[in-house]
Amino acid sequence: MDSDQENVGRWIEGAKLSNLLASDAGLLLIDCRYPYEYEGGHIKGAVNAPVWPSLCRKLFDCKYARVDILVVFYCEFSSARAPRMHDLVRNYDRGMNYKHYPKLQYPQLRILEGGYHKFHKEHKHLCQSDGDGSIYTKMRSNGKEMTSWWRRCKEMNRPPHTLALREFSKQSPSAYDRFITHSPS
């Protein structure tokens, strides 16, 4: 399959997101950046979830569970962290709903095209800061805080099938066995 065909519907443009923010559409924004980036500026209403376990708890503990909600992921450029979180959520959702295929708890997942960097330039009025008043903080490529977050995220952002298996095994051994024998390849 052509990679362009695989990505159809995977991305959302900043202008469309801006229109959705102005409406009463069911929308959940997931900022996949590190906390210091989020505090330095983010899209209004976004939830910061830089690591998989916190995102999994927020999404799958039914706090936001609505089939009609559009979940939009973004990071600084939406080139690494946001696509990874998007894929983790999609795969985990598939694993959790394997018995009810093609049902998903979150069928509408998108990644913000160009990330926060581009959105901030074009829609600054829809951005806010929790920190020093600026509304854009670049990712640091060095420094103790950055290295610490990078290590933590690398370790915690495991493939979702291992997390799903861990959850099933807590429920019962038979749930684990059913998941193994029925999980999609």
Q: What is the mean pLDDT of the chain?
A: 77
Residue 35 contacts residue 51 (beta carbons within 8 Å):
no
Looking at residue 176, what is its pLDDT?
39
> How do the domains of the chain map onto residue ranges?
3-182
Looking at residue 65, what is its pLDDT?
67
**What is the DSSP secondary-structure string of 115-157?**
HHHHHHHH-GGGEE-SSSS-S--PPPSSSHHHHHHHHHHHHH-
Active site residue 62: no
Q: Catalytic residue among 56, 62, 75, 153, which? A: 75
pLDDT > 70 in the chain, percent: 64
3-182 CATH choice from 3.40.50.720, 3.90.1150.10, 3.40.250.10, 1.10.10.10: 3.40.250.10
**Lowest mean pLDDT across 64-68, 86-90, 105-109:** 64-68
Report helix, strand or coil for 114: coil
Supply the pTM of this predicted model: 0.73
